[in-house]
């Protein structure tokens, strides 16, 4: 399972660098492959960290259309409005998309309205009927340059994807959005899988419109 691999990589990285992003950014690619893992995601992580560390020196380029921003170092991102920090991270870091950035915003900014959008959120929410089926995942290109109800930034043009965007729709739950996304992840990864769901084991199957419609597996 992919989540098992991610946890393994994270434990190795924490053990090696103890949270020192500067050291991680300077490590040789061959050392990372040998000590952490050979997956391309490990190499992408180092590139993303290098980009993160350089954001303060690139503000003139990255902060177009945003409220006035001052950063002495990358840690100062944590003092910004989450919507502003989200745009800077999307614009400034290679390989970081909306799901990863929203996960960071949800946990590090204590922003409960941030909801990382993945297949579990889309599957569980549509089967239970509290979001429409077939909603689109947020796009890095659009999220980096547009405003919507999930990311209200008056200096940016409105996003045309908003009416059919999963993140914009889950944002209607406001401070519950991140909590609901977490529940959908836990339920979706264990029981309500996108393919071959374990409906017979589901504790809420009697409340499920998908089950009532006869689409569930037994």
List, in order of start, the domains of the chain with CATH numbers: 2-96 (no CATH), 119-212 (1.10.1670)
- For residue 138, pLDDT beyond 80: yes
Give the torsion through C-alpha atoms of 113, 116, 119, 120, to 10 deg. -60
Look at residue 155 in the predicted model and tell me its pLDDT.
Answer: 95
SS3 percent helix, strand, coil of the chain, rounded to 5, is: 60, 5, 35
Cα→Cα distances 146→23, 85, 139, 196, Å: 34, 14, 10, 37
Look at residue 121 in the predicted model and tell me its pLDDT.
Answer: 98
User: What count of Cα atoms within 13 Å lies in the side-chain half-sphere of residue 142?
Assistant: 16
Task: Identify the weakest region by mean pLDDT among 38-47, 50-59, 82-91, 112-121.
Answer: 38-47
Name the band, by pLDDT with cuts 50, 70 and 90, for residue 2.
confident
- For residue 217, pLDDT beyond 70: no
Look at residue 159 in the predicted model and tell me its pLDDT.
Answer: 97
Q: Report the largest interatomic distance among the alpha carbons of the chain, rounded to a whole angstrom.
A: 57
Contact 185, 163 (CB under 8 A): no
Look at residue 211 in the predicted model and tell me its pLDDT.
Answer: 81
Look at residue 110 in the predicted model and tell me its pLDDT.
Answer: 87
**Average per-residue pLDDT in the chain?**
94
pLDDT tens digits, residue range 60-78? Answer: 999 999 999 999 999 999 9
pLDDT tens digits, residue range 186-210? Answer: 999 999 999 999 999 999 999 999 9
Mean pLDDT of 118-133: 97
């Amino acid at each position: 399972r992919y989540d098992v691999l991610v946890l393994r990589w994270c434990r190795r990285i924490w053990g090696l660098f103890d949270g020192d992003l500067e050291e991680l950014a300077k490590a040789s690619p061959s050392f990372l492959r040998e000590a952490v893992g050979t997956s391309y995601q490990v190499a992408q992580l180092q590139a993303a960290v290098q980009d993160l560390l350089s954001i303060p020196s690139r503000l003139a380029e990255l902060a177009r259309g945003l409220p006035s921003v001052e950063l002495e170092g990358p840690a100062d991102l944590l003092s910004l409005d989450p919507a502003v920090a989200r745009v800077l991270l999307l614009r400034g870091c290679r390989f970081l998309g909306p799901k990863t950035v929203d996960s960071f915003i949800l946990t590090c900014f204590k922003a409960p309205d941030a909801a990382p959008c993945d297949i579990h959120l889309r599957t569980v929410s549509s089967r239970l009927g509290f979001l429409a089926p077939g909603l689109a995942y947020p796009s890095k290109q659009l999220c980096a340059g547009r405003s919507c109800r999930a990311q209200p930034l008056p200096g940016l043009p409105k996003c045309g994807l908003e009416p059919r965007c999963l993140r914009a729709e889950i944002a209607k739950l406001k401070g519950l959005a991140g909590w609901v996304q977490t529940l959908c992840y836990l339920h979706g990864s264990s029981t309500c899988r996108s393919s071959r769901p374990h409906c017979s084991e589901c504790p809420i199957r009697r409340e499920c419109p998908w089950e009532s419609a006869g689409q569930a597996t037994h």
